[in-house]
Structure 1
Amino acid sequence: MQIALVGIGKIALDQHVPALRASPDWTLAATVSRHGTVDGVPSFTGIDDMLAAHPQVEAVSLCLPPVPRFAAAQAVLRAGRHLMLEKPPGATLSEVHILQRMARDAGVSIFATWHSRMALGVAAARVWLAGRSVQSGRITWREDVRKWHPGQDWIFEAGGMGVFDPGINGLSILTEILPTPVHLTGAELDVPANRQAPIAARMSLSQGIEVDLDFRQDGPQTWDIDLQTDGGTLTLRMGGNILEVDGRPVEGQDDIMQEYPALYARMAGLVRDGASDADLSPMVLVADAFTLGRRNVVEPFEF
Structure 2
Amino acid sequence: MNLGTTLLRCASPFVFIAVSLYGLGCMADPEEPGWDSEGEELGEAELGMGGDPGTNNGLRYRVAHNHGVQRTVRVIGHAALAPSGLLPSMPDMPSPTAAGEWAGARVEFLEKLIGCALAEGTTVGDPGHILGYMTGGGLSVPVFQQYHGEIGLAPDWRTRALTTDEKRWVTACVLSRTNRYGATINILLGGAHPEIIHRASEAYPYTVPESTVWGNMFDSTVPLGSNTESGYAFNAYICSDVTFCSFAEGATLRACDETYTPCGFGYMGHCDTFDAFCKDPLNPTFEGCLNRSYAIHSYLKASDATCL
Taking structure 2 as the reference length, the TM-score comes to 0.21
Bigger Cα Rg: 2
Richer in helix (by share): 1
Richer in strand (by share): 1
Q: Which has the higher contact order (CA 8 A, sep 6+)?
A: 2
